[in-house]
Amino acid sequence: MGFGVDFGGTPGRWNAITDVPGVSVGHVTLISGQGVLRRGEGPVRTGVTAVLPRGQDRMAEPVFAGLYSMNGNGELTGSYWVAESGLLSGPIMLTGTTGVGAVRSAVADWGA
């Protein structure tokens, strides 16, 4: 039961996306420095989560995908491709709005 909607079925052991066979999830949090924020120096408080719907071994196989924007805020890099094709052929990356560009570039470098 989520948001008052019964999806049926039984949750996995951890009631998490990692319960789904074949799905890989990774996460990193960066916490560094203290005091007054100085651009390029810190302190740093950020993170990123990566979800590979078919795991790393089957990443070349796209999955069906869709999107929904509840309030229009945030950044959805790749949303036009998902809306047009209905497919996702790379990782799902979750980060703060100001980290989207760096994360997109890192994924492009990683996938090259």
Query: What are the structural domain ranges in the chain?
Result: 17-111
**Dist CA 96 CA 108 (whole Å):** 18
pLDDT score at 69? 76
CB 66 within 8 A of CB 50: no
pLDDT by position in tens, the chain (length 112) = 557 778 788 889 998 988 999 999 999 999 999 999 888 888 988 899 999 999 988 988 999 999 887 777 767 888 889 999 999 988 999 998 888 889 999 999 988 6
Per-residue model confidence as pLDDT tens digits over 36-45: 988 888 898 8
The closest alpha carbon to 63, from 52, 76, 73, 77, belongs to 52
pLDDT score at 91? 92
Instruction: Write out the H or E segment, with its range, that includes residue 105.
Output: helix 100-111
pLDDT score at 4? 77
**Dist CA 19 CA 112 (whole Å):** 29
